[in-house]
Amino acid sequence: IINKQKTQYDSMSSLRIFADINAVMTMLCSELEIPVPVPTTYTASACCRSDVYILPLYDKTGARSDSADNNATRLDLSVNRRVRLNQGGKSN
């Protein structure tokens, strides 16, 4: 378990690290010689309000796609807007 605070599962874990998860994963990537991923910052576009976000698209390999913004996902978190969360994966 990696956490800055105690958890209810500490007694069940075989390894307990009291630290920030980002710091631990950065050190682990460095030790394994894996490139540290650059975090994506999600910001409102210039044409939109601060509670509407344009999220980037990713291709099948997980690489960020530079396609046109009209194909990107628009996330509207405005007051009184409905948000539906779906489980990922293939539909039945």
pLDDT of residue 24: 93
Cα-based distances in Å from 63 to 14, 59, 60, 72: 34, 6, 7, 14
pTM of the model: 0.41
Residue with token string 């874990």: 13
Tell me the pLDDT of the chain (92 aa) as tens digits: 999 999 999 999 999 999 999 899 999 999 999 998 887 776 655 555 678 777 777 777 877 776 654 567 778 888 888 887 777 665 54
How far is Cα 89 from Cα 92, in angstroms, rounded to an integer? 9
CB distance 74 to 49 below 8 Å: no
Which residues touch 71 (CB under 8 Å, ≥6 apart)?
A: 57
Q: Radius of gyration of the chain from Cα atoms?
A: 19
Residue with token string 């800055």: 4
pLDDT of residue 57: 79
Helices (H), 1-92: 21-31
